[in-house]
Structure 1
Amino acid sequence: MLGGLTFGSAEVIATLALVASVASLFISWRSQHHSAKITTYRSATDLTLDIDHQFLEHPELRRYFYKSAEPAEGDVSSVEAMSELMLDCFECIWDLRKTYSPSDRRSWGRYILDMLDTSPAMKEMCEERLDDGWYPALYRLHQAKEKHQFEPRKVRLRSWVRRWRATVGIR
């Protein structure tokens, strides 16, 4: 008896059923979260492999994306098509950034920015289209670069400061 209340077998069964339901809900949520994460990582991998396959089929284009070469007159349309494919893939990959681990997020961000830096044609196309609102996730990536959010020390410090502020109740 608890403060005048008594627990009969029906209440005990109802309490156990509630605990089992909450546990089941939590397990289901964790499983769904894990599946979504696997799907996200698989999508990023598939997009990157699509780019790799294009370079296998058209190795003459690699220099325009990895060696900072300006497109030759006869390759302009192929370089533009490859640039658009890569930018579309990078937009999809970066749009899913919140599902990546912090280290993977930094790695993907650095990879995308490095690729933009080594390809004048892709960088130019990206800058033109950012102004037109074509790539909102890549726009946010450029903002993050300007704020130096890919520096591991600063990320750790910012994370520590947030935790400390939450602990002491500062907003």
Structure 2
Amino acid sequence: MNVTAWVAMVAAAVAIWQLRTLAQQTREFANQTRELASQTAGNAQALRATVYITMSRMTMDIDTLFIEHPELRAEFYGTHADERSREYHKTQATAELLIDFMDCLINHKKHLDEDLSIYWTNYFTNLMGQSRALQDFWKENKNWYGPAVHAILDPCKPAPPAKS
């Protein structure tokens, strides 16, 4: 074997080793890219959940303000305080607070333990069936809420009146 052939064999071996190393690095880079994409998707989901929960908390703070000051609710919802009773607006604000709370939990139940999610859903449907104020508020304002809330609250039927 002459020197040229020997150098060509060594060069071929080095090239094969470099290609193998490049393939291994490319696989590792692809794995890292997939992991980064997964983490980014998780971060985006966490950010969306945080924004939604923050907005829900702010909405419930406004609801609480209207419970404490029903005369303000009357002004913001298009009726004057003297057109409907203070108690009516307080009841409506409380119903809105409860349904906004339901909305928040229903839209984040995938983050809850399955049993806990079932218990909350049972609580919501039972409360909705028992409360005329919730039923009235839902009937008048259900277009404010998304499909996940409708899927749980729309089927709720009022409980039959208690027998005396």
TM-score (norm 1): 0.49
Segments of 5+ residues of structure 1 without an aligned counterpart are 62-71, 147-171
Query: One-letter code of the match for 1:117?
Result: Q
Question: Which of 43, 56, 64 is the matching residue for 1:31?
Answer: 43
Cα deviation 1:48-79 (Å, max 9, x = unaligned): 222112112239x9xxxxxxxxxx96448736
C-alpha distance in 1 between matches for 2:122 and 2:61: 17
Question: Which of 114, 133, 154 is the matching residue for 2:127?
Answer: 114
**TM-aligned CA distance change 1:137 to 1:87, over 3 Å:** farther
Question: Which of 30, 35, 48 is the matching residue for 1:18?
Answer: 30
**TM-aligned CA distance change 1:76 to 1:39, over 3 Å:** same
Residue 125 of structure 2 is aligned to residue 139 of structure 1: no
Question: Which of 90, 94, 107 is the matching residue for 1:96?
Answer: 107
Query: One-letter code of the match for 1:141?
Result: I
Segments of 5+ residues of structure 2 without an aligned counterpart are 1-15, 74-82, 158-164
Per the alignment, residue 160 of structure 2 pairs with none
Offset of residue 129 of structure 1: 6.1
Please state whether the residue corresponding to 1:8 is helix, strand or coil: helix
TM-score (norm 2): 0.50
RMSD: 4.3
Offset of residue 116 of structure 1: 7.0
**TM-aligned CA distance change 1:134 to 1:14, over 3 Å:** closer
Work out the number of aligned pairs and report it: 128
C-alpha distance in 2 between matches for 1:23 and 1:126: 44
C-alpha distance in 1 between matches for 2:59 and 2:118: 16
